[in-house]
Structure 1
Amino acid sequence: RFTICNMAIEAGGKNGIFPVDEKTIAYLNGRVSRQWTAVTADADAVYDRVITIKLDDLVPVVSYPHLPENTHPAAESGHIKIDQVVVGSCTNGRLEDLQQAAEVMQGRKVHPHVRAIIIPATQEIYKEAMRLGYIDTFIDAGAAVSTPTCGPCLGGYMGILAAGERAVSTTNRNFRGRMGHVDSEVYLASPYVAAASAITGYIASPEEVMK
């Protein structure tokens, strides 16, 4: 839900909102110290357009440079060689994201020509990932694990791309120069695809690694 709300703007929306439900309330418990009020749509609200997406029919996709909407199936990427993989930041650095990446990296090694960087979204997630053994999995695979930070997502530090370099990243935007040099390329993907690509050294679907 966080990811969809975050990326609604790239899909052409002005805002991304989910209705408050039991999952929302459970998440807020222990995280919010003040009173809050759920905002809901009117029962007779009229919508300009309704789109229904069957999630079971979706396949792993990759956003090619230099726009998030420039999407292609991961399985059809044709072994595009990469130099770096980033799993994390605010968009795909939650515990379930790290779990997916660890599932792919478990017992495997990061390709020798790839820099793999793991960035938990929060300190709480970092601690829980350590408790569950995900951090050990990443380190054993040859990845570098960072303290929670935006870091390379906005070209700040730790994983800045040089001219001609390509990265697969689970971060939220891949505009020209977003993660470094204007002549670098950023491919956005899910944690599954990013982790699989870190292992193979090229853009790959998780099925290719987890046969």
Structure 2
Amino acid sequence: MGQTIAEKIISRRAGRPVAANEIAIVPIDGAMATDATAPLAIRAFREMGGRVLWNPERVALVLDHAAPAPNEQIGNLHALMRDFAREMGCTLYDVGEGICHQLMVEYDHVRPGDIFLGADSHTPTYGAIGAFAVGVGSTDLAAAWLTGKTWLKTPPSLKITLSGALRPGVSAKDLVLFLVGQIGPDGARYQAVEFTGTALHPLSLASRMTLANMTAEMGAKTAFVDVTGLDLPYRYDPVYPDPDAVYSAVYSFNVSDLRPQIAIPHAPNNVVPIDTVAGTPINAGFIGSCTNSRLEDLQAAAAVLRGHKIASGVRLLIAPASRQVFAMALRDGTVATLIEAGATFITSGCGPCVGTHQGIPGDGERVITSTNRNFRGRMGNPNASIYLASPAVVAASVLRGVITDPADVL
């Protein structure tokens, strides 16, 4: 019987054939934690008697969820992480360096075929390059820091085949919102989602990261995006499924007629075509998060806003994915275009997405955002309404002050 990508990667690491639902203990290739999870992992590591990391070069800590520190308590947690990284000799990305998932790919901490652990639910993002990447709790991460191994229940796999070509102005964010709406929040529960099909071949790495990232909103354990057509700055051996691999479910979609999509309050799977909610007044827009804050996302927003000003009484916050992304956007004029339109840039990080600080909405406000979740209270205020959309839709909406299709502006 053939194997899926997940089964192949786990089998190689386990040293024996492994099928779906089998438990295996495997060595890992890397591990990451943020300021939301690392302090708990550090304490658990100490309680386990940990004195040295199994491999400091393969451990990274990132200050991104509440950075710069908004209060004394968070400041002390950041200090704990800095001290731990200095003592252990592992990598620390301090305030402003960027969002954890961007940095792990940007600085080659994770590569195709790796087994990588992240103490964050959107760790499946690295499936964009073909890595088996899973989110884990702080205690499991601490054990992996100590031993260099983890246990895995091999996930069954769900296959999504995408044909056709996305229309101009329709992005990977629109596509993955549509898919989350179709499959639902539990449709891929503890499964590996495999994306394949000709519609993927022209997509950039950034777009593929968007697809893999939001499989978390389907309940997925991990995700893999077919690497055909993917250009990476190093040589690698891609992992493909066998032709006779067994899947729990198979979906097929032609994306050629897809329109921009919106997830309306208060669930990421509450997805409708933009025409359904066009004209809904909004108070603010946010472009950022581990889903959509890379250079192509900022450029898409700039293309909509170039030569215009955002609507009176509406604000637009932007948090680039990393310092490097911000520098590139400065060099090509993207930042200038967005600032001239009225946007405000804030520290590269996750603050507004998770609602820790930097842009918490007021009661009754509607925010349109390029983030991945819109549960009640997600951006820090349970009395606000959050709409999920692509960066281009966010830009068009802050320009008009109401939810707007970018095609109506460009």
- Same topology, TM > 0.5: yes
Task: Provide the residue aligned with 2:259 in structure 1.
Answer: 59
Distance 2:345 2:368 in 1: 16
Is residue 2:295 matched to residue 1:99? no
Distance 1:27 1:180 in 2: 37
Contact 1:162 1:180 in 2 (8 A): no
Distance 1:199 1:85 in 2: 10
Partner of 1:52, secondary structure, is: strand
Distance 2:333 2:357 in 1: 26
Over the aligned positions, Cα root-mean-square deviation in angstroms equals 1.7
Superposed CA deviations along residues 21-58 of structure 1, whole A, max 9, x for unmatched, are: 451xx3353xxxxx976443234212232212222211
How far did 1:76 drift? Answer: 2.5
Distance 2:321 2:217 in 1: 21
Equivalences for residues 1-211 of structure 1 within 5 A: 1-23=208-230, 26-29=231-234, 38-210=238-410
**TM-score (norm: length of structure 2):** 0.47
Contact 1:85 1:198 in 2 (8 A): yes
Partner of 1:10, secondary structure, is: helix
Partner of 1:187, secondary structure, is: strand
What are structure 1's unaligned runs of at least 5 residues? Answer: 30-34
Identical aligned residues as a percent: 43
Structure 1 runs (4+) deviating above 6 angstroms are none
More strand by percentage? 2
What are structure 2's unaligned runs of at least 5 residues? Answer: 1-207
Task: Provide the residue aligned with 2:116 in structure 1.
Answer: none
Q: Which structure: larger Rg?
A: 2
The worse-fitting range, judged by mean Cα deviation, of 97-106 and 10-19 is 10-19
Contact 2:266 2:385 in 1 (8 A): yes
Contact 2:213 2:290 in 1 (8 A): no
How far did 1:15 drift? Answer: 2.4
Distance 1:55 1:123 in 2: 33
Distance 1:143 1:78 in 2: 22
Partner of 1:50, secondary structure, is: strand
Task: Provide the residue aligned with 2:33 in structure 1.
Answer: none
